[in-house]
């Protein structure tokens, strides 16, 4: 074996050693804006976990199966802890998404560390003194952000090492006194947004007085506001602008958590560890703060017995809505969810029946597809309801729409995968003819500033003169100034631009590997029509080939036929969206709850 190396698990440089060889557990340890620090060090990076052929699918299946098993165990444990008798469906609505993420995160950290220690001989590692640090967050959204936090991850890795007992490494301690857990940074809003929010709140309070106990409850529908209002009017009810109030956070209580347990003794290895850690990590809104959450729910001015519930955005991290919906559906109220963006019905991770928004609802309204499951109801692209196509500039530029760096929430090493993604963006640019390079605008995701990938700086270092748009300009305006839009990941944007018949080229890493078998033929149509490229270089070649006659290429029968077949399946446009959605919702509401 080569010389021993000191293990580093995060980018927190307080845990590094600068006088000895290092083993970085992953690329997330080496922040781009700290390149001048780590570039010259005697260090290697451990092999990324979970990216071997077939492993992603196997790990996803395992995580989802284990999550379902843990949910069954949690139902009894939580009902006992809170002296309640809620159904499994209730708890699946309330914390199903968090539970799946929790299992995936613990799985990734556990097996990433195990793989690195098998492949490298480690001399030691730094472990922060963290007796007063709680891995529990206040809610599921804060948990998502905690999974990218250095200290939170460092403490979690130390828990894994402690569980193993001895890994042949010298453990050192460094104090993080005064830090009791991860705290999510407050968002800053521009003045205009605050004024708009205040205005909507005032209007909402006035409208609440006109709501009725049996009104259909529609919240975060993903419809444009105008169309959502029209939908409510078509249901013969006063339009409401429902919005969940801010969750009143309750801090984790380590002593109280000692009395919350699920059985771990009858398991070994990872399946034991994931159970050991669950009581320590479960967000406080499901444990210490649960009574406060219920109190907030009971104080809501929302309909007490709505005709039905419909949401496309509230089923994941809106704790108050989920707790309210869970209680209401136990009374027999029909609960419908709408598709939230892409990957549903196509991606191996979203194509099965493990997603709570598909299994815990009475009907799931898609953007056009159906997979034979009677729970799925073909619909249309909600975000485009009532919208007309965007008129492009036939002499305009090229627009490349980028993704932000990943949250580390997957079983595999999503951070490493994003590094591959970044390099493919540069390869795409380099393969473009210089005149088209000069017409390119790189549109960074609006969330880039909240992550630590240094997207803008990476692009500037690679191509100083390329125009970078950081997400501040409305995407519609950028598209209107372009003659062609390029999507570099399998995105909601692809579904939207294809549905609006906007000239589109797309490419992404891995080709069709992430797709369900039933979805692949439709993507093959895009590939044969030269809409979907296999590589960044091929995408650049196709763009160069058609650059001077984009309209002619896009309007060709081959392209339009492929686009129409694909859109009819995955991104359907509805000429009368309000009438169609009303029909779907009322028809299934009249059938009552199927659960």
DSSP 183-249: -PPPP---HHHHHHHHHHHHHHHHHHTT--TTS-EE-S-SS-HHHHHHHHHHTTS------PPPP--
CATH number at residue 551: 3.40.50
Per residue in 492-520, pLDDT tens?
A: 999 999 999 999 999 999 889 889 899 99
Query: Using CA atoms, how far apart are residues 405 and 419, in angstroms rounded to an integer?
Result: 9
Per residue in 70-86, pLDDT tens?
A: 999 999 999 999 999 99
Query: What SS3 state is found at 82?
Result: helix
- Residue 97 pLDDT exceeds 50: yes
pLDDT of residue 94: 98
Residue 197 binned pLDDT confidence (cut-offs 50, 70, 90): low
Q: What are phi and psi of 577, to 5 degrees?
A: -65, -40
In 343-387, alpha helices (H): 356-359
Work out the average pLDDT over 374-394: 92
Express as a percent the part of the chain with pLDDT over 90: 82
Query: Using CA atoms, how far apart are residues 228 and 372, in angstroms rounded to an integer?
Result: 28
Residue 482 lies in a domain: yes
CA dihedral of residues 240, 244, 246, 249 (deg, nearest 10): 160
Taking alpha carbons only, the member of 132, 139, 178, 138 closest to residue 155 is 132
pLDDT of residue 53: 83
Q: Structurally, how many domains does the chain consist of? A: 1
pLDDT of residue 190: 42
Positive or negative: CA dihedral 158, 164, 169, 171: positive
Per residue in 46-55, pLDDT tens?
A: 999 999 988 9
**Tokens encoding 536:** 């960044």
Residue 2 binned pLDDT confidence (cut-offs 50, 70, 90): low
pTM here is: 0.95
Average pLDDT, the chain: 93
pLDDT of residue 191: 44
- Residue 237 pLDDT exceeds 90: yes
- Residue 334 pLDDT exceeds 50: yes
pLDDT of residue 484: 97
- Residue 154 pLDDT exceeds 90: yes
Report how far apart the first and last C-alpha atoms of the chain are (Å, whole number): 58
Query: Using CA atoms, how far apart are residues 201 and 195, in angstroms rounded to an integer?
Result: 10
- Residue 234 pLDDT exceeds 80: yes
pLDDT of residue 38: 97
Other Cβ atoms within 10 Å of 167 Cβ, number: 16
Work out the average pLDDT over 270-299: 97
Per residue in 516-575, pLDDT tens?
A: 899 999 999 999 999 999 999 999 999 999 999 999 999 999 999 999 999 999 999 999
**Please, which residues have CB within 8 angstroms of residue 457's CB and are 6 or more apart in sequence?**
32, 33
pLDDT of residue 47: 98
Q: Can you give the residue range of the structural domain that contains 516? A: 397-570
**Tokens encoding 38:** 């780590």
pLDDT of residue 595: 75
pLDDT of residue 122: 94
Query: Using CA atoms, how far apart are residues 432 and 438, in angstroms rounded to an integer?
Result: 10
pLDDT of residue 192: 46
Work out the average pLDDT over 126-146: 94
Say which range, 196-205, 300-309, 325-334, 374-383, has the weakest mean pLDDT.
Answer: 196-205
Query: Using CA atoms, how far apart are residues 321 and 247, in angstroms rounded to an integer?
Result: 10
Taking 3-state DSSP, the helix, strand and coil percentages for the chain, each rounded to the nearest 5, stand at 45, 10, 45
pLDDT of residue 171: 77
Taking alpha carbons only, the member of 374, 305, 358, 312 closest to residue 334 is 305
- Residue 188 pLDDT exceeds 80: no
């Amino acid at each position: 074996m080569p010389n021993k190396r000191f293990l580093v698990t995060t980018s927190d440089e307080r845990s590094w050693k600068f006088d000895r060889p290092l083993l970085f557990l992953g690329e997330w340890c080496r922040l781009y804006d700290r390149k001048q620090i780590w570039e010259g060090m005697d260090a290697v990076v451990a092999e990324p976990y979970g990216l071997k052929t077939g492993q992603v699918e196997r790990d996803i299946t395992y995580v989802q199966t284990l999550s379902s098993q843990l949910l069954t165990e949690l139902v009894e444990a939580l009902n006992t802890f809170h002296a309640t008798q809620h159904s499994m469906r209730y708890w699946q609505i309330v914390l199903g998404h968090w539970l799946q993420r929790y299992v995936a995160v613990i799985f990734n950290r556990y097996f990433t560390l195990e793989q690195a220690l098998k492949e490298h001989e480690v001399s030691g590692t730094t472990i922060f003194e963290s007796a007063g640090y709680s891995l529990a967050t206040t809610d599921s959204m804060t948990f998502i952000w905690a999974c990218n936090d250095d200290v939170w991850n460092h403490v979690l890795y130390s828990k894994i090492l402690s569980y193993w007992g001895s890994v042949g490494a010298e453990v050192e301690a460094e104090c993080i006194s005064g830090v009791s857990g991860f705290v999510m940074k407050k968002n800053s809003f521009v003045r205009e947004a605050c004024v708009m929010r205040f205005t909507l709140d005032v209007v909402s309070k006035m409208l609440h007085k006109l709501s009725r106990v049996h009104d259909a409850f529609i919240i975060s529908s993903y419809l444009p506001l105008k169309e959502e209002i029209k939908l409510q009017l078509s249901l013969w009810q006063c339009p409401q602008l429902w919005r969940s109030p801010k969750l009143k956070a309750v801090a984790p209580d380590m002593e109280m958590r000692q009395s919350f347990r699920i059985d771990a003794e009858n398991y070994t290895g990872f399946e034991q560890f994931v159970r050991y850690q669950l009581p320590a990590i479960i967000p406080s809104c499901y444990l210490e703060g649960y009574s406060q959450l219920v109190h907030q729910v009971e104080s809501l001015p929302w309909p007490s017995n709505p005709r039905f519930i419909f949401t496309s955005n509230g089923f994941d991290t809106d704790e108050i809505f989920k707790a309210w919906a869970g209680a209401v559906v136990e009374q027999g109220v029909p609960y419908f969810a709408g598709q939230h963006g892409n990957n549903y019905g196509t991606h191996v991770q979203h194509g099965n029946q493990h997603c709570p928004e598909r299994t815990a609802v009475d009907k799931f309204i898609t953007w056009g597809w159906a997979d034979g499951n009677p729970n799925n109801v073909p619909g249309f692209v909600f975000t485009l309801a009532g919208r007309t196509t965007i008129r492009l500039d036939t002499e305009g530029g090229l627009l490349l729409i980028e993704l932000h760096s990943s949250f580390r929430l997957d079983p595999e090493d999503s951070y490493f995968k994003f590094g591959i993604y970044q390099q493919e963006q540069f390869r795409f640019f380099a393969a473009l003819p210089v005149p088209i390079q000069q017409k390119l605008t790189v549109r960074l995701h609006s969330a880039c500033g909240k992550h630590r990938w240094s997207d803008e700086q990476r692009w500037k270092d690679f191509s100083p003169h390329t125009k970078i748009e950081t997400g501040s300009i409305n995407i519609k305006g950028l598209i209107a100034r372009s003659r062609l839009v390029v999507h570099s990941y399998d995105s909601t944007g692809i579904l939207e631009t294809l549905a609006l018949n906007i000239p589109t080229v797309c490419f992404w890493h891995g080709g069709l590997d992430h797709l369900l078998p039933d979805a692949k033929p439709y993507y093959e149509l895009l590939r044969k029509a030269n809409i979907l490229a296999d590589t960044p270089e091929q995408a650049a070649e196709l763009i160069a080939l058609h650059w001077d006659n984009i309209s002619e290429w896009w309007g060709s029968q081959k392209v339009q036929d492929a686009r129409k077949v694909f859109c009819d399946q995955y991104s359907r446009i509805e000429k009368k969206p309000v009438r169609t959605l009303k029909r779907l919702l009322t028809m299934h509401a009249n059938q009552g709850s199927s659960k």
